[in-house]
Structure 1
């Protein structure tokens, strides 16, 4: 079994933080910091661990935000190069990788009100050793003017990690992050940033732009449909891949304008039948979907085929969850069989309940076949 993420912030990480902060400031009470940071740490989940260590840092650093940020910056190791920060590790040269996360949150606690410009400068440095995408969000909420002005100046920064922070840190609905409700309501302030970054040389940056646009699509689907209409025609392979990823939620939702932009707007002409096996299964097992299709068209058909599992909820009603299936070209008169294995496995964001479940198949946004299975829990 994989090591739980929460163990990335453990006693060893706390010890490394203590050692490198003390290296930059001899007056640092490393023992006091460790005692506060480690108290009950093993019983906490990841984000709670991060915040406990951050609060312990704040308690043992100077109250002056400028001085505290300078001490934290002095504890950092060399910045990462290229797109990949996954190989960065704390070393004798300084902190890098997961131990940097509590440092970013400490900066937010110390500087968001007292010295926002200084705090943003520290986050710019720290994001090159891990990421500051979570810690920068309070700055957007509480200091929007200085934050938008500062972050907008990072668009041409030589580090891909800083350029990515422009997009990732301002995502309206970043998972695990503070929701930026003002940008949920009106995403227009970040659109010029996304337009500039969508053709960035770094795949890491472009992936963030795609996810940012997908966030926007959840609240403003027409805006993303318009974005495709403007930016998809004549797009090269890299921008096309970005836009496809950005519009994945709207494709799965059967948005007519977005399907049409990808040449997937026409209704399927033909016959389709869905079979599920086994007819009954338990959580932890897998369901096999078999889809038999027969085209009756005289011309090729471009098809986006997704499926939705209608999960039974605690009250007995059902809600659909759409999953990605296939995108394919079906020749005139062609018959084809498609098979997919769908695991019914426990995940933290879904609780399974027993009962009759339905699976439907959606072709170019239209539900054209369905079948059922019984789930035992």
Structure 2
């Protein structure tokens, strides 16, 4: 059985943190820090462990934030210089998962001195990402924080450049929502323009995820981005933009599909069958789609399907599932098959009733079928 994820923040890591902090500030009360940080630690989940260690840091580091930040900085391991994510606390200094409570301490205590705090986070993110710790500064000191992130977009460290994009994502998973960026993503667009051709794949992956976040609330912004930046794009940027387009391609957004050469409707015939016609929760159905071309030219097609899940009140909600991307040649008939699971998952509950399945080609409904689900 794999080790629980929460155990990445453990007693040995806490003791190593105390040792390094005391090494760089002889007045550090290591015993009190460890007493508070370790109290009932094994019973806590991951985030609660990080917060408890941050509480212990608040109780034992100097009240003067500049001094406390300086102690943390001198206790850090040497900065990572490549994309390698193998951060770990060693005899050389603090790095890896201890960075979560260290970043939390900086986020809590640094609000009165945001410039000093952001510089501390820049140092920390080269040993463990500070993407979560920067969020309160974007909420409380937006203009100052965005100006500083923009200034660091050319930083020599790929970890810092990646942090400027990842930390300012509108919908960063597990992070505080920055509602102003959800409403208006334009402040981060200059940052993304500067980073989309970054030499580091690690940085470019963050830019793709950032653009995909924007697509969820402002699809037109990403469609315009593709229009401006996809033509004659080098292979690395093209891969980035394809990853950034994934949500809108899945939704069948016409403008985005058109940008990828998938805008034309199917010239030909389509059929869809679903079997069995009656199925129980936990089983699966087999989808068989058949496409026949009547065109004299090859057709580049994105073929997806939409399942209309029945809700408790009898209505239904659509969910798009990725199917196939293919080129259909003149006169060709192509048979496509896929098993669709009906196993319960944490984000979806199934209810009895007729579930409609629509076949979408380049964002256009071409045919449909249905199955009955029994619970």
Once the two structures are superposed, residues 252-302 of structure 1 have per-residue CA deviations (whole angstroms, 9 ceiling, x without a partner) of: 11111111111111111222233344542433x554433222222222111
Match of 1:179 in 2: 177
Match of 1:203 in 2: 201
Do the aligned partners of residues 148 and 330 (structure 1) sit closer, same or farther apart at CA in structure 2, a change above 3 Å counting? same
Task: Give the distance between the partners of 2:311 and 2:332, measured in 1 at CA.
Answer: 39
Task: Give the distance between the partners of 1:46 and 1:252, measured in 2 at CA.
Answer: 33
Paired residues of 2:344 and 2:350 also in contact (CA < 8 A): no
Structure 2 counterpart of 1:355, from 343, 352, 367: 352
Q: CA deviation at 1:16?
A: 2.8
Q: CA deviation at 1:319?
A: 2.1
Paired residues of 2:281 and 2:343 also in contact (CA < 8 A): no
Match of 2:29 in 1: 29
Paired residues of 1:22 and 1:30 also in contact (CA < 8 A): yes
Task: Give the distance between the partners of 2:46 and 2:117, measured in 1 at CA.
Answer: 23
Task: Give the distance between the partners of 2:76 and 2:284, measured in 1 at CA.
Answer: 46
Moved over 6 A (4+): none
- Any residues of structure 2 matched to 1:45-84 within 5 Å, and which? 45-84=45-84
Do the aligned partners of residues 14 and 344 (structure 1) sit closer, same or farther apart at CA in structure 2, a change above 3 Å counting? farther
Match of 2:271 in 1: 273
- Any residues of structure 2 matched to 1:1-377 within 5 Å, and which? 1-85=1-85, 87-111=86-110, 113-278=111-276, 279-283=278-282, 285-345=283-343, 347-348=345-346, 350-356=347-353, 357-375=355-373
Once the two structures are superposed, residues 167-217 of structure 1 have per-residue CA deviations (whole angstroms, 9 ceiling, x without a partner) of: 111111111111111111111111111111111101111111111111111
User: What secondary structure, in the 3-state scheme, does the structure 2 residue paired with 1:275 have?
Assistant: strand
Q: CA deviation at 1:100?
A: 1.2
Paired residues of 1:311 and 1:352 also in contact (CA < 8 A): no
Task: Give the distance between the partners of 2:83 and 2:307, measured in 1 at CA.
Answer: 36
Unaligned runs of 5+ in 1: none
Do the aligned partners of residues 4 and 340 (structure 1) sit closer, same or farther apart at CA in structure 2, a change above 3 Å counting? farther
Unaligned runs of 5+ in 2: none
Q: TM-score, normalised by structure 2?
A: 0.92
Q: CA deviation at 1:233?
A: 0.9
Task: Give the distance between the partners of 1:168 and 1:95, measured in 2 at CA.
Answer: 22
Higher mean C-alpha deviation, range 50-59 or range 250-259: 50-59
The alignment's C-alpha RMSD in Å is: 2.1
Higher mean C-alpha deviation, range 195-204 or range 325-334: 325-334
